Structure 1
């Protein structure tokens, strides 16, 4: 259903409010440079500090600006099942093609709780779901057997996973437990190359915010089985992948974007603050290495 380079878009702010004009320009630039889908209101989009009204407006603008050129996978995750359902209902009406739903954070549900949470969303909404597993942020880990059970119970609703567990063996676990039709997307830019070799079909990416063409070309090379070319592009991107997390994300990527585009700022929402001088130096060096500045 989805493949290639899929940026987890930043949410631009200016003077403390959503900068809609800048966001529309960012969406156009992403599509023009080969991004195959867009994810608004994910972790990189600072969804956790958006009000519901802002959250929905960001999704609405993304769908509107994309105008059917690429699909929009709306960030709909919440630690509250009913709020996730609310986001999904709005996203479906707005024209999103799928929902990215993170494991409920802070609550620390059991695997049975995860089955119940995602089961409720699958049973009560028409929007296909891409699971999002990022235990480093949520504490809760969606184990492979839970992923496989969800895909077995809801084959038309639970259609894929963004896996940021850092455990590459899970690509094979999911492929063998579910099948090749299940859409596996890396959630870690630096692991996208081995993940694709193991059976993933793309990446929901932080780096693609600032290097969409390189990320798209990298994914195209992997899809074509040209891993020599993929490695060459990956070597250009590799320092940038790590620089994006030299400080609390999305601080570094917002700084990087401010270096590439004059219409974007590095403004964040508290409790996040602009990245450190050390992080800025790492980002600048990585941007130069990739030929982006």
Structure 2
């Protein structure tokens, strides 16, 4: 299979599911969000806005629309953006995907509808097909989002094959967040030319030689440059050095509740406590957890260069 990928997918890349800052009243803090997006882009990352670690499913439809517009109006290139547009309700998924398309985004990352369990591949095909047909663009690209441990709705290889056959210019890749290496490696083997993005940088050492397109990772929020450097390593020795660096940070962070941990790390390195806020039902890290995590990162000589300077503009 051969697909025509937009520039954002033409070479291995890292995308961050950008964490979302909130005000004291738990509204979206757009200035902080835009400043952080600028920092991520400056560190070599693309922006997977409204991903799992963005607390996307705690954001309303209108909030996602408005925030995407704010980021683009701030001058950040939408061609670097891969917003999440999957939703339980088909009309919401259509509205979000159409908006991303009209805004000029590189594509959309689409969860399956995730409330009903045990749905058939036929039903899932109809969901994706209805969105694609409603948007009606030959230029827009869709990446599927496989995270069955959260959704309860797996994206099977049979479904992938059918979607590629029906929409070869549109359905061009997948984010595999299953954590199942056997599934990731099987997709890389079965669908050559399909942009497979593992969700953990810890898998890149095995995935890149098999043709992985890059990485869409929670911890790309805090180590985008290191992951980009791994993806762009010129030699096996250079790749091995970066593999070790990114894997140790990943292990430290994923041992904690991921979203509160990411936001506390950003708060610390931005010197901005407001970043630690999460929307219910999530809760912020307690001081004991947070202190232990920061000490562990300090022992790894971890840093987020220039973040405090960039973030200060938004405060």
Give the structure-1-normalised TM-score. 0.91
Q: Please state if 1:164 is matched with 2:177.
A: yes
- Partner residue in 1 for 2:42: 32
Q: Please state if 1:173 is matched with 2:186.
A: yes
Q: Distance in 2 between matches of 1:88 and 1:268?
A: 25
Q: Which moved more, 1:170-179 or 1:249-258?
A: 170-179
Point out where structure 1 has 5 or more consecutive residues left out of the alignment. Answer: none
- Partner residue in 1 for 2:166: 153
Alpha-carbon shift at residue 278 of structure 1 (Å): 5.3
Alpha-carbon shift at residue 63 of structure 1 (Å): 2.9
Contact kept? 1:171, 1:199, Cα under 8 Å: no
Alpha-carbon shift at residue 43 of structure 1 (Å): 0.7
Given the alignment, which residue of 230, 246, 252 partners 2:255?
246
Q: Please state if 1:184 is matched with 2:193.
A: no
Q: Distance in 2 between matches of 1:174 and 1:229?
A: 27
Q: Please state if 1:213 is matched with 2:222.
A: no
Q: Distance in 2 between matches of 1:147 and 1:228?
A: 35
Q: Distance in 2 between matches of 1:66 and 1:105?
A: 33
- SS of equivalent residue, structure 1 residue 239: helix
Deviation digits for residues 136-194 of structure 1 (CA, Å, limit 9, x no counterpart)? 111111112211221121101101101111222334433443322x1111112322322
After superposition, the CA RMSD in angstroms is 2.0
Contact kept? 1:171, 1:200, Cα under 8 Å: no
- Partner residue in 2 for 1:73: 82
- SS of equivalent residue, structure 2 residue 196: strand
Over 3 Å counting, the alpha-carbon distance change for 1:30 and 1:70 in structure 2 is: farther
- SS of equivalent residue, structure 2 residue 282: coil
Q: Distance in 1 between matches of 2:78 and 2:132?
A: 26
1:51-130 paired onto structure 2 within 5 Å: 51-65=60-74, 67-68=76-77, 71-108=80-117, 109-125=119-135, 126=137, 127-130=140-143
Point out where structure 2 has 5 or more consecutive residues left out of the alignment. Answer: 305-315
- Partner residue in 1 for 2:269: 260
Contact kept? 1:246, 1:279, Cα under 8 Å: no
Decide which structure has the larger Cα Rg and report it: 2
Alpha-carbon shift at residue 197 of structure 1 (Å): 2.6
- Partner residue in 2 for 1:50: 59
- Partner residue in 2 for 1:291: 302
Alpha-carbon shift at residue 270 of structure 1 (Å): 0.1
- SS of equivalent residue, structure 2 residue 49: coil
Deviation digits for residues 52-85 of structure 1 (CA, Å, limit 9, x no counterpart)? 1111122222333353285211110112222111
- Partner residue in 2 for 1:134: 147
Over 3 Å counting, the alpha-carbon distance change for 1:76 and 1:34 in structure 2 is: same
Alpha-carbon shift at residue 94 of structure 1 (Å): 2.2
